[in-house]
Amino acid sequence: MNRKTASLTALLALLAAGLIMPYVAPAHLSQLSMLWLFMVLALSWDLMSGQTGYNSFGNVVFFGIGMYASAALQIGLYHPVAEYTAAMGEGTEYTLDAAQIYAGLALGVPFGGLVAMLAAILFGALLLGMRGHHFAIATLGLAVAAAELAASRGYIGTGFDMPSPTLPNAINSPALFYWLSFALAALALIFYMWLLSTRFRLALNAIRDDEDKAEAMGHFTVRNKMTAWAISAFFTGLAGALYGNLSRSMAPHDVAYSGMEVGVWMILMAILGGRGTFWGPVIGTAVFFGAKELFWTYLPGWQHVLLGALIVIIVAFFPQGIIGWLRERWPNLFAKPEPDEKTTSHTPPRPAISTGGNGHA
Amino acid sequence: MYHRLHTRALSYFEPLISQEESRVQNLQLLLQDPAFSIQLLLDGLWIGAVLALAAFGMALVWGVMNIINIAQGEYVMLGGFITLLAMDAGLHPLFGIPLAALVLFMLGWALYRLVIWRVVEADISISLLATFGISIMLQQLMNTVFGANARTAESGLGISFLFGGMVTVPQAKVLAFVLSFAICLALWLFLKKARLGRAIRATAHNARTARIMGIDTDQVYAATHAINAALCGVAGALVVMAWSIHPYMGLPHTLRSFMIVVAAGPGNLASIFTAGLGLGVVEQFAGFLLGAEFQLAFLFLLLVVVLVVRQTSLAHKPQCLKLPETGKTGRNLPS
């Protein structure tokens, strides 16, 4: 069995597990939905930051944009959004029937993804001309500013939180959102697996390894970065749209643009599993979920500190993540056939000739 | 949860009026009454000097170790909390300044020995993630230990008035300004004259050659990181006396440091100080005109503008040859 079939088999097994899960653990449907959504987030973060080498600390912005865009459309189809938000979604005039909910979800969720993608293209036009570390700090600023701006807009709630549409009792909402999350994750997994088998991945890796050389070889690096970020934002936005419905309330600082929770988690999950690989973020998400439940149960109050410490420990001591460790431990099972495919801990060879100003400013 | 508590107080620039409809009014006020402009200008200068202090540290670490320290703002905050602790123990907050410097120096050294040394030679994307992790860790630690409220240390210094009471000048802020300036001068002298300072500059210039010349660059890196943390500690002690601190001010502060260093270039302490003052004044005026809710958006916009301008100006520089495998090539040395 070669690597490709093995990978494909593992993916099918994962999807099969997803199909069985709700019957095995019907009480944990909402946690399982989050597991799938976080898998999408981690994979999307890794496309930009692991494969392309551009650390984005601001992907949570697309999560929030997708969430609010979707919710605004879901509600806005039937009710004025500002009044709905002001009333906190309460009152009989704001109830939606099942058909309206389904129509809202069918239109709103893709809309959230698209708006997030447009935002990525807009911000990308501003930021992606910058080289690695400038981009990273700029995205940090983006994330901080977005939360503050969202918190001051009355349309989506100032000081209080916009609630997501209330489902009528006829709908089994945990099951509905489980299947939606699972469908999104399945779509993302299949799409990313395909994308990472194409030449586009090599183009992105070329940017990560040596952008100047990639440019000299005739790659349109800015365009490639933009495409990667747009794809990443699209899936992040979709996940955000579903997460908003799942979490019921969309507080700007705590849920939508929560740089300290979702924003950190997606980074942690990807680097835990191993940056720049397909299976890294997937495995990282699963492991992180277990660890998170433990932290939240046994160390209340300290969990965020520990997650920060975990990032430091992973980056400083295991920069290749779980996948990298597996590759080192059992090279003939996991190692890539190509010689220089180890991803993270390697510094790319320094260019003999390089532009004067890119390293510092 | 805790974020909501300080939605409106993400930093210490508090504009006088923040209603949206009063923006035009504010502009008119500014144009009619020069006292307002002077007040904003002075306030901006005071805070700008303190911002410059953290920016020196960032420039030092960036120039010498090729690391952008995202935890910069958290070091500042920690300096403030140490001052608060000293005050709780019955000391005058002024004692907090050396104490914060000392504790942060040790913390910076320890963090280098534990974490940073592993990433100092790695790609910059790795060290960014590492310092990001440190930033999250310290931020959440302080949030857990000290709570999410904004806090300030009462220094007992009075307020002076200029122009017949039209312009207020709190003496704590003047003290912050003067001390920042003095530390800037001291740092400049240190880098110029002291043995360690010269070793730091040599390492910044070319780490490999410095090693060949017998400089223990590992030790230099540790010292640089520790000095950076100490500078931030002093800045934090000054911030808590003249303004206020809370656990979520870290990231905006890091962004400001970064912006100052990028705008000024990491090589020149005088231009960093000037850029710091400039940023303080610009933010003060923008905060007055735009209101609190746009403060961070303005900061972000300014950051993008600075980066884009800088990138364009660098793109027009002639290309130069770099030797392969020389470790930290061509960093600008603080001088």
Closest CA to B292 of B15, B5, B4: B15
Interchain proximity B299–A141, CB inside 8 Å: yes
Q: How far is A142 from chain B (nearest CA, A)?
A: 6
**Which chain A residue has its CA at the smallest distance from B262's CA?**
A361
Q: What is the spatial distance between Cα A200 and Cα A218, in angstroms, rounded to a whole number?
A: 14
Q: What is the spatial distance between Cα B233 and Cα A348, in angstroms, rounded to a whole number?
A: 35
Q: What is the spatial distance between Cα A235 and Cα B184, in angstroms, rounded to a whole number?
A: 47
Q: How far is A164 from chain B (nearest CA, A)?
A: 18
Does residue B24 register a pLDDT over 90?
Answer: no
Q: What is the spatial distance between Cα A77 and Cα A74, in angstroms, rounded to a whole number?
A: 6
Dump pLDDT digits (tens) for B216-248.
888 899 999 999 999 999 999 988 888 888 888
Which positions 256-285 of B are in contact with A (Cβ < 8 Å)? 258, 262, 265-266
Residues of A in contact with B324 (CB under 8 A): 349-352
pLDDT of residue A239: 93
Q: Does B309 touch chain A (CB under 8 A)?
A: no
- Rg (C-alpha) for chain B, rounded Å, is 20
Give me B154's structure tokens: 């009462």
Interchain proximity B63–A360, CB inside 8 Å: yes
pLDDT of residue A111: 93
Q: Tell me the CA distances in angstroms from A127 to A64, A123, A134, A223, B200, one per residue in order.
A: 19, 6, 8, 12, 32
Interchain proximity B128–A350, CB inside 8 Å: no
- Choice between A130 and B186, residue whose per-residue pLDDT is larger: B186
Q: Tell me the CA distances in angstroms from A352 to A334, A348, A349, B247, B326, one per residue in order.
A: 33, 12, 9, 44, 10
Q: Does B330 touch chain A (CB under 8 A)?
A: yes
Confidence of residue B326 (pLDDT cuts 50, 70, 90): very low
Does residue B334 register a pLDDT over 80?
Answer: no
C-alpha B137, offset from chain centre: 19
**Which chain A residue has its CA at the smallest distance from B322's CA?**
A353
**Which chain B residue has its CA at the smallest distance from A161's CA?**
B4
Strands A162-163 and B167-170: unpaired
- Residue numbers of chain A with a pLDDT score lower than 50: 339-346, 350-361
Does residue B328 register a pLDDT over 50?
Answer: no
Write the DSSP symbol of residue B293: G
B244 SS3 class: coil
Residues of B in contact with A253 (CB under 8 A): 3-4, 7
Interchain proximity A316–B296, CB inside 8 Å: no
Q: Does B112 touch chain A (CB under 8 A)?
A: no
Contact predicate A112/A66, CB 8 Å? yes
Q: Does B126 touch chain A (CB under 8 A)?
A: yes
Q: Which of B140, B293, B314 sits opposite A305 (nearest CB)?
A: B140
Interchain proximity A137–B319, CB inside 8 Å: no
Other Cβ atoms less than 10 A from the Cβ of A129: the count is 18
Does residue B159 register a pLDDT over 80?
Answer: no
**Which chain A residue has its CA at the smallest distance from B250's CA?**
A144
Which positions 155-194 of B are in contact with A (Cβ < 8 Å)? none
Q: What is the spatial distance between Cα A109 and Cα B293, in angstroms, rounded to a whole number?
A: 28
Dump pLDDT digits (tens) for B301-317.
888 888 888 777 766 66
Q: What is the spatial distance between Cα A335 and Cα B223, in angstroms, rounded to a whole number?
A: 39
Angle at which helices B250-264 and B34-65 cross, to 10°: 80
Q: Which of A137, A312, A353 sits opposite B68 (nearest CB)?
A: A137
Interchain proximity A140–B63, CB inside 8 Å: no
Q: What is the spatial distance between Cα A15 and Cα A9, in angstroms, rounded to a whole number?
A: 10
Q: Which of A151, A357, A360 sits opposite B266 (nearest CB)?
A: A360
Q: Does B314 touch chain A (CB under 8 A)?
A: yes
pTM to 2 decimals?
A: 0.82
Output the 3-class SS for chain A.
Answer: CCHHHHHHHHHHHHHHHHHHHHHHCHHHHHHHHHHHHHHHHHHHHHHHHHHCCCCCCCCHHHHHHHHHHHHHHHHHCCCCHHHHHHCCCCCHHHCCCHHHHHHHHHHHHHHHHHHHHHHHHHHHHHHCCCCHHHHHHHHHHHHHHHHHHHHCCHHHCCCCCEECCCCCCCCCHHHHHHHHHHHHHHHHHHHHHHHCCCHHHHHHHHHHHCHHHHHHCCCCHHHHHHHHHHHHHHHHHHHHHHHHHHHCEECHHHHHCCCCCHHHHHHHHHHHHCCCCCHHHHHHHHHHHHHHHHHHHHCCCCHHHHHHHHHHHHHHHCCCHHHHHHHHHCHHHHCCCCCCCCCCCCCCCCCCEECCCCCCC
Q: What is the spatial distance between Cα A221 and Cα A240, in angstroms, rounded to a whole number?
A: 28
In chain B, alpha helices (H) = 23-32, 34-65, 72-88, 93-111, 117-119, 124-146, 171-193, 195-205, 207-212, 217-242, 250-264, 269-290, 295-315
pLDDT of residue A227: 92
Q: Which of B293, B299, B318 sits opposite A356 (nearest CB)?
A: B318
Dump pLDDT digits (tens) for B53-81.
999 999 999 888 888 888 999 999 999 99
Interchain proximity B331–A360, CB inside 8 Å: yes
Q: How far is B127 from chain A (nearest CA, A)?
A: 8
For domain B39-315, the CATH class is mainly alpha
Give me B331's structure tokens: 């960093």
Other Cβ atoms less than 10 A from the Cβ of A95: the count is 16
Output the 3-class SS for B137-165.
Answer: HHHHHHHHHHCCCCECCCCCCCEEEECCC
Q: What is the spatial distance between Cα B171 and Cα A149, in angstroms, rounded to a whole number?
A: 34
Interchain proximity A350–B324, CB inside 8 Å: yes
Share above pLDDT 70 across residues of chain B, in percent, rounded to a whole number: 82
Residues of B in contact with A247 (CB under 8 A): none
pLDDT of residue A336: 63
pLDDT of residue B8: 36
Contact predicate B303/B255, CB 8 Å? yes
First CA to last CA distance, chain A: 50
Tokens 């992973």 correspond to what residue? A314
Q: What is the spatial distance between Cα B137 and Cα B74, in angstroms, rounded to a whole number?
A: 9
Q: Does B214 touch chain A (CB under 8 A)?
A: no
Contact predicate B2/B272, CB 8 Å? no
Q: CB contacts < 8 Å between A and B, how many?
A: 197
Q: How far is A28 from chain B (nearest CA, A)?
A: 24
Dump pLDDT digits (tens) for A94-105.
677 777 888 888
What residue ranges do the domains of chain B occupy? 39-315
Q: Which of B129, B254, B304 sits opposite A311 (nearest CB)?
A: B129
Q: Does B290 touch chain A (CB under 8 A)?
A: no
Does residue B164 register a pLDDT over 70?
Answer: no
**Which chain A residue has its CA at the smallest distance from B9's CA?**
A148
Other Cβ atoms less than 10 A from the Cβ of A106: the count is 11
Q: Tell me the CA distances in angstroms from B296 to A45, A342, B8, B80, B282, one per residue in order.
A: 24, 39, 11, 21, 13
Interchain proximity A151–B331, CB inside 8 Å: no
Does residue B335 register a pLDDT over 50?
Answer: no
Dump pLDDT digits (tens) for A272-312.
888 888 888 999 999 988 888 888 788 777 878 888 888 88
**Which chain A residue has its CA at the smallest distance from B123's CA?**
A347
Interchain proximity B329–A359, CB inside 8 Å: yes
Contact predicate B71/B233, CB 8 Å? no
pLDDT of residue A234: 94
Dump pLDDT digits (tens) for B86-96.
888 887 878 88
Closest CA to B1 of B150, B133, B143: B143
Please list, residue by residue across A205-218, b when 16 or more beta carbons sit within 10 angstroms of its beta carbon and e when fewer do: bbbbbbbbbbeeee
Which residues contact residue A236 at a Cβ distance below 8 angstroms, ignoring those fewer than 6 apart? Answer: A40, A41, A44, A45, A59, A62, A63, A66, A116
Strands A162-163 and B159-162: unpaired
Q: What is the spatial distance between Cα A276 and Cα A344, in angstroms, rounded to a whole number?
A: 7
- Rg (C-alpha) for chain A, rounded Å, is 21
